[in-house]
Structure 1
Amino acid sequence: MSIYDRNDPIESDAGSEEELDALPEASFDDPPSDAEAGGNTWTVRLLAMPLLVLFAVPTIFLGLGRSSLWEPDEPRFAEASREMLASGDRLTPYFNGEPAFDEPILFYWFQAVTFDRLGVSEYAARMPAGLAGLGCLLLVALIGARLFSARAGLLAGLALATTFRFVVSTRSGVPDTALLFFTLAALYAFIRAAESDPPGGRVALLGWIAVGLAVLTGGLFGLLPVAIWIVWLVLTARLGGLGRMRAASGLWLMLATALPWYLYMAWTHGRSFIELAVLSDVMARYEPGAATSAGSGVFALMAWPGDAMPWTVYAVVAAASVFLGWSQLSTEQRRGAGLCVVWFAVVLATCAVLSARRPEYLLAAYPAGALLVGLLFDRAVDFGDDAGPWTGLANWLTALCLLALGGLVGWLLQRLFGAPLMSLAMALPAALVLGGVFLAIFQRTGRPLWAFVVVAPVFALGYGLLAVDIVPRDLERFKPGRPLAQIAAAQSGPGRRIGMVGDLDRGLVFYSGQNVERLDTIDDAVAFLTEDGLRLCVLRSDDLDAVVGRYAGTLYQLADQPRRNIRFADLLGDGAGAQTTTFILVSNTPPE
């Protein structure tokens, strides 16, 4: 028995119930067809996991700690985890000396462990997300092997490993990738449970534990795998699958996993935790309103194409091939592709009802797209031209996109950072252009899998180059948090305190290693600097004259550091630097 149960309604070219009954039972454990056997060879199975680990080196781990933490979320989580480790309170996260109720506890625990083992650093702050990202690749390969073939799973894992938004998330010390890992683990367990005999078994319970851990990582968003699976069962008229999920006992197991921490926090912190962490979070994310929902849905549709690069065209073409070439798919491929489409649609619908517009909320959609890409190439290898024109169409369109992207990246590197034509940074646009050329050549010679072999390594090496050279050299100088904090931390004096005018730079808290006071107005800054003892204040250059004019004594400027917010619209005119803001560190006592 499986999710491909012959007793469930199956769309088929057969025209009668008798013909349907004559079909053999379709299961993942059934002997594969000749084409499917080609995608399940021992060579593919043995190489799948090592290849995914190999690709994870440049896309996830290479240069993981070379750049400082990105505002605003990375230093917020890292500082809360550092304070948790320093205070010994493992249940309540604190940031800047105050309880931090923004997110559940599990990711803080992960970071606290890596800080304890590896020391407090950018590398240690990002390692939990990196390891979760590697786990996501392995789970996608396993899911693809269950739904389609081992080769399709491998190709899906490689596609996900080089998807832009996934790479950005795995390189960020935030909970998004850990949440995705538990989501994929739950879905994989539900797929396994659907084919187990007796129904469900222990695998389903493991899936519910994964859901509980997802809730402990991302709150209500952790229920996403349950929503995906239930919608899939409803749309395919398989409500009996709820029994295979062991929903009743699984729900209790999920609550036993996630609920104790929430109860402890509510008991310890009372109304403040309930209002801020639960009610405010729900209201902020799920605020009702048709206009808001429509706007969030449009935002998700606009964010997905760029964030899914370089597989955007392939995913769209793969989805089109599923709908238009439905009759050419095997029963297993129909069910697997249908699950991926439902999966993507549920994530998109969830984003549509959220009032907050963040590209990270779409992260769970990219594995579904990667699985469709894996199926597209898997069929192209097995059936060649008989699989239809879909892979060729995607290859030609992607080749054009790579050529255009290479030119755009080269222009941006010169426009923003003045990169010399023969610099290492310019190897990135050169690789994109060459990738487009070779992609066209391989498509012309009828080698679809070689086209995949071009795209995936080009982007894997490109991400590695960004991490070890372009970002640390060209972008780091526009991130003021670390250098200003290090200079402030080097100053010594009685009663040293640090303040910042306006929105708090969370990196200033993490890198200085002490609490930073937020000063709302110029008058607050003047009053802060007038106090006895060493006072260090970070303010914008536009506010410096006003502070100096109102301050009775002498202020000492210790450092200045620019921050640049890059907007594409600014690059088209002469004001490419208009979004640069300079932050200045001043002191009320002479520097040492």
Structure 2
Amino acid sequence: MTRTVSTKQERPISWLWLAALWLLLLLLAALRPLAVPDEGRYGEVGRWMLQSGDWLVPRLDGLPFFHKPPLLYWLEAVSLALFGSHVWALRLVPALHAGIMLVGLYLAARAIAGERVARRAGLMLGTSVAFLLGGQYVNHDMMVATWIGIAIWCFAFAFMHGARPHANLARLGFVACALGVLSKGLIGLLLPGLVLFLWLLWTRQFRKVLALPWASGLLLLAAITVPWFVLVAQKYPGAMDYLFGTQQFTRFTADTFNNVQPWWFYIASLLILLFPWAFFAGKPLWDAVKRTPAPDGVAREWFSLCWIWLAAILAFFSIPASKLIGYILPVIPPLALLAALGWERTLAHSRFAGRVFAALAALIIALALAVSLLVTRFTDDKLSGDVAQTLACDASPADTVYAVGNYPYDLPFYAQIRRPIVVIQDWPRQHKTAGDVWQRELFEGADFDPVAGRVLQTPDVLAAASARPGNWLLVPRNGGARGFGPPAWLRVQTGTGWILFKSGGSAASAPEGPIAAQQKGLPGCKH
């Protein structure tokens, strides 16, 4: 009885630690500008959804953007509506999912191994690069990783409930799969299914599958996922072939996409994402493979789940030639649990264990803080925040912005422009030669909506645009605009990454007065 009371008294302390780590994540999320291209791209799609009122079709620069399903953009739009157009409002979405992953791990670990291990696992995850940096990065990876993890936990506990699966836990698993599908597509369903299939076979529980609440579970799955896919397919025939075929199946099987990495890339990534805690997972992993009896009383089935979860998803993502570090986030929860068990088996009873753990945790927190504060020094040549502020204060809502040589992913969000940017390229040539680059995501979107595709123009329009009032031109400083020389544009500002010009007859150069002052300024102006 004393031990039970003690455990219950310790739980509020654990929750306080988890809350403190999540608040630290929110603080770090407010310290740096949007990273490009990813955060600028995905953040702008959410902003455009809110601004346009079109909650059905994700759009980038006004063009349909069917690379991923819409859950991230929906939540971003809601966050921006509630908290305003701030970078941290965008990052609140992945941060909330990182918090859900943390809580899910803590609750699962507490049921599996007790309060002590659960708190350790939560602290390890909460003081990791995966949580403190990955949990604030605006893209789909933390979202889908969270729902994959929640789905696996729910189904696993449902199967371990007894001779028949726990029906409500299983239904929650179906809901988590549905949210995973809306986060990033088929892997939200495929990866939980793969892990659970292999685990049930290994632990000889597969017959329990027949007792799942299939009717209600599949109904929930369909009710959450099907409407958006059907409505988009009706409006844009071919959109689902593009999303599932090109962006998922072809990207998985082909070797023509960017970020080609060796087979061991994700092993190294895990050591970084859960550094230094990942090294402590070695002993319980080895014990689980050898089927050595667990000294901490953890059921063998849970060890099997952890290493199968880790191995299956690691193998799955190691197959494609194209690899990104965020893809492997779904295996962080079981790895953190194994690391916590490894700590308990190796160092927990050492005299200096507490001090060592605190020092290692402080080291990772300091590293995450340094990255958040200093990363801009190494990426500012790609950012447009400085010229975006000038544009936001000097341009009028009806003005047109042109970009040549590259696409300023973060500028629409910072300036809060109301109209798509006119992007200048030799588009006929790009259709024939472009690889897995930014031009392709724009012209493939224009293929779905030729009217919106008018924002993609060729260099011959620049001469006339320079003579009309109310036009602005952005040119990258890195020489990406060679051969497009601005004919009669007036230089306004040379920023760290972009040069801003205005047209010779621009309204921005007109004499100041009450009417002109009223016409000037975009929502992004902070003066």
* TM-score, normalised with respect to structure 1: 0.72
Deviation at 1:323, TM superposition (A): 4.3
Asked if 1 retains the 8 angstrom alpha-carbon contact of 2:261 and 2:322, the reply is no
Deviation at 1:275, TM superposition (A): 3.0
Partner of 2:443: none
Partner of 2:394: 491
Asked if 1 retains the 8 angstrom alpha-carbon contact of 2:259 and 2:323, the reply is no
Q: 1:87 aligns with which of 52, 57, 63?
A: 52
**Aligned partners of 2:260 and 2:57: how far apart in 1?**
36
**Aligned partners of 2:201 and 2:282: how far apart in 1?**
25
Partner of 2:408: 505
Asked if 1 retains the 8 angstrom alpha-carbon contact of 2:405 and 2:482, the reply is no
1:472-487 equivalent positions in 2, closer than 5 A: 474=377, 477-487=380-390
1:96-495 equivalent positions in 2, closer than 5 A: 96-196=61-161, 199-223=165-189, 224-243=191-210, 245-247=212-214, 249-271=216-238, 273-287=239-253, 297-320=263-286, 322-323=288-289, 326-329=292-295, 332-380=298-346, 384=349, 446-464=351-369, 466-467=371-372, 469-471=373-375, 474=377, 477-492=380-395
Change (3 A) 1:39 1:165: farther
Asked if 1 retains the 8 angstrom alpha-carbon contact of 2:384 and 2:498, the reply is no
Partner of 1:7: none
**Aligned partners of 2:253 and 2:6: how far apart in 1?**
47
Deviation at 1:126, TM superposition (A): 0.8
Q: 1:556 aligns with which of 490, 497, 518?
A: 490
Asked if 1 retains the 8 angstrom alpha-carbon contact of 2:147 and 2:176, the reply is yes
Change (3 A) 1:547 1:291: closer
Deviation at 1:315, TM superposition (A): 2.9
RMSD over equivalenced CA pairs, Å: 3.3
SS of the counterpart of 1:486? helix
Uncovered stretches (5+) of structure 2, i.e. residues with no partner: 428-456, 510-527
Asked if 1 retains the 8 angstrom alpha-carbon contact of 2:404 and 2:481, the reply is no
Q: Deviations over 1:458-490 (max 9, x none)?
A: 3235434543x4346x45744522212222233
Asked if 1 retains the 8 angstrom alpha-carbon contact of 2:404 and 2:484, the reply is no
Change (3 A) 1:546 1:92: closer
Partner of 2:518: none
Change (3 A) 1:293 1:64: closer
**Aligned partners of 1:245 and 1:239: how far apart in 2?**
11
Q: 2:11 aligns with which of 35, 45, 70?
A: 45
The residue type equivalent to 1:255 in the other structure is: A
Uncovered stretches (5+) of structure 1, i.e. residues with no partner: 1-30, 385-442, 563-581
Change (3 A) 1:245 1:447: farther
**Aligned partners of 1:324 and 1:38: how far apart in 2?**
32
2:487 is equivalent to residue 584 of structure 1: no
The residue type equivalent to 1:488 in the other structure is: L
Deviation at 1:321, TM superposition (A): 5.0
Deviation at 1:519, TM superposition (A): 1.4
Change (3 A) 1:494 1:156: closer
Change (3 A) 1:338 1:355: same
The residue type equivalent to 1:282 in the other structure is: Q
Change (3 A) 1:77 1:328: closer
The residue type equivalent to 1:587 in the other structure is: K
Change (3 A) 1:175 1:292: closer
Comparing 524-533 with 260-269, which one deviates more in the overlay?
Answer: 524-533
Asked if 2 retains the 8 angstrom alpha-carbon contact of 1:293 and 1:353, the reply is no
**Aligned partners of 1:378 and 1:57: how far apart in 2?**
27
**Aligned partners of 1:131 and 1:309: how far apart in 2?**
22
Change (3 A) 1:61 1:495: closer
Partner of 1:527: 461
Change (3 A) 1:317 1:561: farther
**Residue correspondences, number:** 471
Asked if 2 retains the 8 angstrom alpha-carbon contact of 1:192 and 1:203, the reply is yes
SS of the counterpart of 2:343? helix
Partner of 1:5: none
**Aligned partners of 2:337 and 2:214: how far apart in 1?**
26
Q: Deviations over 1:328-361 (max 9, x none)?
A: 5466343222211111111112202334311111
Deviation at 1:322, TM superposition (A): 4.3
Asked if 1 retains the 8 angstrom alpha-carbon contact of 2:279 and 2:339, the reply is no
Asked if 2 retains the 8 angstrom alpha-carbon contact of 1:166 and 1:363, the reply is no
The residue type equivalent to 1:283 in the other structure is: F
* TM-score, normalised with respect to structure 2: 0.80
SS of the counterpart of 1:77? helix
SS of the counterpart of 1:68? coil
Asked if 2 retains the 8 angstrom alpha-carbon contact of 1:501 and 1:521, the reply is no
Q: Deviations over 1:265-310 (max 9, x none)?
A: 1112222x12322221123332257999995633323333223323
2:487 is equivalent to residue 538 of structure 1: no
**Aligned partners of 1:322 and 1:494: how far apart in 2?**
62
Comparing 314-323 with 362-371, which one deviates more in the overlay?
Answer: 314-323
Deviation at 1:372, TM superposition (A): 0.5
Change (3 A) 1:73 1:278: same
SS of the counterpart of 2:402? strand
Q: Deviations over 1:158-190 (max 9, x none)?
A: 111122133222112222222222222212211
Q: Deviations over 1:383-431 (max 9, x none)?
A: x4xxxxxxxxxxxxxxxxxxxxxxxxxxxxxxxxxxxxxxxxxxxxxxx
**Aligned partners of 1:67 and 1:350: how far apart in 2?**
33
Asked if 2 retains the 8 angstrom alpha-carbon contact of 1:526 and 1:547, the reply is no
Deviation at 1:378, TM superposition (A): 2.9
Change (3 A) 1:170 1:543: closer
Q: 2:22 aligns with which of 31, 38, 56?
A: 56
Deviation at 1:320, TM superposition (A): 3.6
The residue type equivalent to 1:205 in the other structure is: R
Q: Deviations over 1:107-152 (max 9, x none)?
A: 1111111111101110111111111111111110111112222211
Comparing 141-150 with 41-50, which one deviates more in the overlay?
Answer: 41-50
Asked if 2 retains the 8 angstrom alpha-carbon contact of 1:288 and 1:353, the reply is no
Change (3 A) 1:323 1:199: closer
Change (3 A) 1:297 1:477: closer
Partner of 1:8: none
Partner of 1:518: 423
Change (3 A) 1:494 1:126: closer
Asked if 2 retains the 8 angstrom alpha-carbon contact of 1:529 and 1:536, the reply is no
**Aligned partners of 1:489 and 1:292: how far apart in 2?**
33
